Structure 1
Amino acid sequence: MTSLRSPVEAASVGHPTYSQTFPCEPSTAEIGRELVRDVLGVWHLDDLADRAALIITELIANASRHTPCPRIRLIFGRPSATRVRVGVVDEEPSRLPALSQADEGDESGRGLLLIDAVADRWGYDLQGSGRRPWGKEVWAELRTEGDE
């Protein structure tokens, strides 16, 4: 059996980032949850693992459901000493995320609401330059314990 991921070797100092590309399919969520837990463990931020795993699961579900992309890139970073960023990059810049209200009987449509509830902030950044972006990163940030 071939592994879809390599061992995590995320730097634990400075403003490190770890990223890896996977198929854009719902089964990638399991790998994403393991990966975010591994990266946060390297950074000694295990207390954020449950929220980050929920976020990455929802971001992967949204990308696999709403984009025709064959692959996505999972990105885990420390943009500052007090924040962790979890993101998914896809190649569909025209499908931007937006909060919506799901009806009571709906079986989907609550992913961004969950992210909004557990993340300290979230958003998206278009990828590429000029007027022709090639993709987008949808991300969410969590504060570390030392942040007031």
Structure 2
Amino acid sequence: MDLNACRSEVRRKAWELPFLAEPRELAALRRLIGLRLRQWGIPHVIDAAAICVTELVSNVIRHVGELTPTTLTVSMNGTFLRLDVQDPDARALPTLLAAGPDAEGGRGMALVDAAADRWGVILRADSKVTWCELATGLTAPDGHVPTPGVTRAEALIGLYGSVRHPTDPPRTRLSVAMAEESAIAVITDLLLWLRAHGCDPDEALDRAQGNGEVAT
């Protein structure tokens, strides 16, 4: 088995959110982005994605108008996270400006340009889409970031599944739900092992949680 291969597929289905562009929506959009990207296993791009969404929507508010019907789409383009903001004005185009230090505006697209790996505008007959893409470090669109701990855990989960179900045919790919069940079984048996050997499972969990927080 290739220990570097991702055996658990992460489903990252594109999602779309229509809303009316206004300043008070920005905090809610950032929260939703954070929740979604944690679910997708890419929390390390939350800050950059939040900056991009904030500036793209602020651009709509500033140059098209408050309460403009707007749609945010979050998807994957290969291993890149893609953010699309659509509004109904094909004339007010975002522009990358070299704003001076005392300028009160003009920094929006400069922030997007700095946070994202690439961005652009798609013009349509009655609307435009301003998009940007961020590198995630994923090795595949349905894979995970190959940190050593995650890679070791993936190998252990695959091995443990074959031990628990020796009569089942070997699987090269697992759904996240299947892998989660195996991970829970691993944790349960390890806690039973600790208890059987006179160790404190609660203390072990606290120490593991502390290690996890340091790792993140």
Moved over 2 A (4+): none
TM-score normalised by structure 2 residue count: 0.56
Query: What amino acid is aligned across from residue 84 of structure 2 in structure 1?
Result: G
Which of the residues 100, 121, 137 maps onto 1:145?
137
2:211 is matched with none
* Offset of residue 65 of structure 1: 0.5
Which of the residues 72, 88, 92 maps onto 1:91?
88
* Offset of residue 146 of structure 1: 3.0
Which of the residues 89, 105, 109 maps onto 2:106?
109
1:8 is matched with none
For the residues of structure 1 that align with 2:138 and 2:73, how far apart are their CA atoms? 22
Tell me the SS of whatever aligns to 1:98.
coil
Q: What are the superposed Cα offsets for residues 30-72 of structure 1, whole Å, 9 maximum, x if unpaired?
A: 1110111111112111111010001101111101100036211
2:92 matches 1:100: no
1:63 is matched with 60
1:1-148 to 2 correspondences below 5 Å: 12-13=10-11, 16-68=13-65, 70-80=68-78, 82-127=79-124, 133-146=125-138
Tell me the SS of whatever aligns to 1:75.
strand
Root-mean-square deviation over aligned CA pairs: 1.5
* Alignment check: 8 A CA contact 1:18 1:39 kept: no
Equivalent pairs, count: 129
TM-score normalised by structure 1 residue count: 0.81
Between structures 1 and 2, the one with greater helix share: 2
Between structures 1 and 2, the one with greater strand share: 1
* Offset of residue 102 of structure 1: 1.6
* Alignment check: 8 A CA contact 1:76 1:84 kept: yes
Gaps of 5+ in 1: 1-11, 128-132
Identity of aligned residues (%): 33
For the residues of structure 2 that align with 1:22 and 1:44, how far apart are their CA atoms? 25
Gaps of 5+ in 2: 1-9, 140-216
For the residues of structure 2 that align with 1:123 and 1:114, how far apart are their CA atoms? 14
Q: What are the superposed Cα offsets for residues 88-133 of structure 1, whole Å, 9 maximum, x if unpaired?
A: 1100011111111223221111010011011010111123xxxxx1
Rg comparison, structure with higher value: 2
